[in-house]
Structure 1
Amino acid sequence: MIAPDQAATMAHAGWDVISEGAELADRVIELIQDSLDDHAGASNARA
């Protein structure tokens, strides 16, 4: 088992790592959604 202070330190470090990439992940998701929307719009225009 891990000491509570060590577990807290590890949890905080993990949170920092996850949070660092959140803005980039949001931007990538936005670009993918826009691309899918554009593709769907083009497909509907051809139908």
Structure 2
Amino acid sequence: MVEYKCSNCGRIITQDELGMKAKCPYCSNKLLIKLRTRIIKEVKAR
């Protein structure tokens, strides 16, 4: 699940809440920051 953080109000917004819009549904700010996933990948060295 992709999550975004509003740079104005600081709320966490999911992709389902955004739909096709590219602005915060709470404060109408257009600058959203995509959060990193919490999954840690292990890569073996060659």
Tell me which interval the TM-score lies in, with the shorter structure as reference length.
Answer: under 0.3
Which one has more relative contact order, counting CA pairs under 8 Å at least 6 apart?
Answer: 2
Greater share of strand: 2
Query: TM-score w.r.t. structure 1 length?
Result: 0.23
